[in-house]
């Protein structure tokens, strides 16, 4: 699939942006004490990788459940509109498998972006432990 066509699919941009924001917020939440206590010196590569993995795992679960519930409710709505007598007929069809596949793809995109969103700021914090342009990097500069 071409990258442009993939990017144009509904929801892909939302998955990317939400995943990155989720990763940044997760990294900030988990490592805030390390940054405040020891500056970026308290954060190492191992911690950055563990935090990124945790961000990715939580994101993949949450986004899969959200995507699947949304797509499955669409199938239920379609069943009602088509007057399908037995509930769940569309979910057991090829459409149901496509819904599951699309939910997995969306959750995977969000999780990958969450891992990057958590890892990149932590690596920058390791490489630039106390840049002078960042006023809150040093505990002494906080009033």
Q: What is the phi/psi pair of residue 132, to 5°?
A: -65, -25
pLDDT top residue among 59 and 138: 59
% the chain with pLDDT above 70: 76
Q: Is 73 exposed, middle or buried (0-12, 13-18, 19+ CB in 10 A)?
A: exposed
Q: What pLDDT was estimated at residue 142? A: 45
Picking from 49, 62, 75, 50, the residue whose alpha carbon sits closest to that of residue 21 is 62
pLDDT digits (tens, 9 = 90+) for 1-21: 566 666 677 778 888 999 999
> Could you report the per-residue pLDDT of 36-62, keeping only the tens digit for each?
665 555 778 888 899 999 999 999 999
Residues 49-105 have pLDDT tens digits of 999 999 999 999 999 999 999 988 888 888 877 877 777 777 678 888 898 998 999
**pTM score, two decimals?**
0.77
Whether the Cβ atoms of residue 55 and residue 115 lie closer than 8 Å to each other: yes
């Amino acid at each position: 699939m071409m990258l442009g066509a993939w990017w144009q699919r509904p929801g892909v941009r939302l998955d990317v942006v939400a995943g990155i924001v989720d990763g940044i917020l997760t990294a900030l939440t988990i490592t805030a004490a390390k940054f405040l206590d020891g500056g970026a010196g308290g954060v190492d590569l191992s911690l950055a990788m563990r935090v990124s993995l945790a961000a990715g795992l939580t994101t993949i679960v949450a986004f899969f459940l959200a995507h699947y519930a949304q797509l499955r409710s669409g199938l239920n709505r379609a069943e009602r509109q088509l007057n399908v007598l037995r509930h769940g007929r569309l979910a057991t069809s090829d459409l149901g498998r496509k819904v599951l596949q699309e939910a997995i793809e969306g959750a995977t995109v969000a999780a990958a972006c969450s891992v990057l969103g958590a890892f990149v700021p932590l690596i920058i914090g390791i490489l630039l432990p106390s840049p002078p342009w960042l006023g809150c990097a040093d505990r002494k500069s906080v009033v």
